[in-house]
Amino acid sequence: MKHLVTTLTPAALAAFALVSCENPADKTTDATVKDAAPAAATNGTRYVIADGSTITFVGSKVTGSHDGGFKDFDGFFTVGPDGDVTGGTITIDMNSTWTDTDKLTEHLKSGDFFLVGTHPESKFTITGVEKTGTGYEVSGNLLMRGVEKNVTFPATGSKDGDAIKVQAEFDINRKDWGIVYAGKADDLIRDEVVIRFDLTAEPEA
């Protein structure tokens, strides 16, 4: 095994370097970002976010990527007579941020990134939902680090007994929310961050 590097061809080494440095956001849809918009009406049946739901992210730099997410969040959806989501809000406790590295977790909570001491909560409020050929196009105001922007991204929805499931995967540019920390000169952080929702909501009791 100690002789592995010497047996790799230049082409193999180049391929390995490309794989190790690829941008995860190249495989996801870029969210459209605009100015904040009015929230959608919340008429309809109210469903609350259930245990087992996840909100995760992937951030990367030129040398690799890190997985992370949020342990504590809550919220609700409103569902119309046709069974489609019409509105809703999700509130995230930014102190519950986690990553695959303890040192990175603490750094993300600092002023270089989420500035959790000043902005302990982030919030996503739906402003519109449209059906598409493959699912839905969701728009909502994302308030993070004191900056509020409207984002639009693809999502899927399904019914599971009395519960509804909403899933989405897309990427945003962190600089749109004032997160501009560049990283080390030889290990720059990419602007794009992949966001994943996997949410289950149940009728409010």
Q: What is the pLDDT of residue 12?
A: 43
Q: What is the pLDDT of residue 179?
A: 98
Residue 2 pLDDT > 90: no
Q: What is the pLDDT of residues 18-42, one digit of tens each?
A: 444 689 999 999 999 999 999 998 8
> Which pLDDT value is given to residue 205?
83
Classify burial at 200, counting beta carbons within 10 Å of its beta carbon; exposed 0-12, middle 13-18, buried 19 or more: middle
pLDDT for residue 3: 36
pLDDT at 14: 42
Domains, the chain, in order of start with CATH, read 24-203 (2.40.128.110)
pLDDT at position 16: 37
Q: Amino acid letter at 74?
A: D
Q: Is the pLDDT of residue 6 over 60?
A: no
Report the C-alpha gap between 133 and 135 in whole angstroms.
Answer: 6
The average pLDDT across 142-157 equals 98
113-125 tens-digit pLDDT? 999 999 999 999 9
Q: What is the pLDDT of residue 4?
A: 36
Q: Residue 47: count other Cβ atoms within 10 Å of its Cβ.
A: 23
Q: Which band of pLDDT confidence, cut at 50, 70 and 90, is reported for residue 7?
A: very low
Q: Look up residue 53 and give its two tokens.
A: 């739901």
The pLDDT mean for the chain works out to 91
Beta-carbon contacts of residue 166 (< 8 Å; ≥ 6 apart): 77, 85, 155, 156, 157, 197, 199, 201
